[in-house]
Copies of this chain bind each other. A is one copy, B any other.
């Protein structure tokens, strides 16, 4: 399974810098979301499909630790990993790695639950077994070959 995923690459944009000359720390949270959306899409569970099936995945919490500065025009890899998944909750970790040097620039995580279109909690195990099996199969796995980097 490892080889079929593309790692999410992202260039740090000028408008994301701050007056310290580095990417403002709030953007890392947005990049986590980009990587999360991307891996769901690669899993065949893009936002539209999930929405049509009535599955929403809100953010319950986020955190980020900043290791070293990311500058304008740096190319980074954002590497998500499903750390835990119970069918009603999911925890994803993220590494942000400088593509050129392979250094870990930041790491973080997000926790999620699953809601239906009326904002009621869903158990994926009972209601969406195919989605449940997909997430369960990825749980704890380093799904990118490049994940060893850094």
Contacts and interface: CB of A to CB of B under 8 A. Distances in A.
A33 B14 CA distance: 8
Query: Which of A13, A26, A47: most chain B CB closer than 10 A?
Result: A26
Contact of A19 (B19, B60, B64): B19
Interface stretch (A65-73, A81-89, A92-100, A142-150): A65-73
A14 B20 CA distance: 10
A139 interface: no
Interface string A81-125: 000000000000000000000000000000000000000000000
A13 B25 contact: no
Contacts of A137: none
Nearest to A22: B19
A34 to B, nearest CB: 6
Contact of A26 (B30, B37, B65): B30
A66 B61 contact: yes
A21 interface: yes
- The 6 A-B pairs at the shortest CB distance, nearest first, are namely A63-B63, A17-B19, A26-B29, A61-B65, A19-B21, A25-B59
Interface of A: 13-15, 17-22, 24-27, 29-30, 33-34, 37, 41, 46-48, 56, 58-66, 72-73
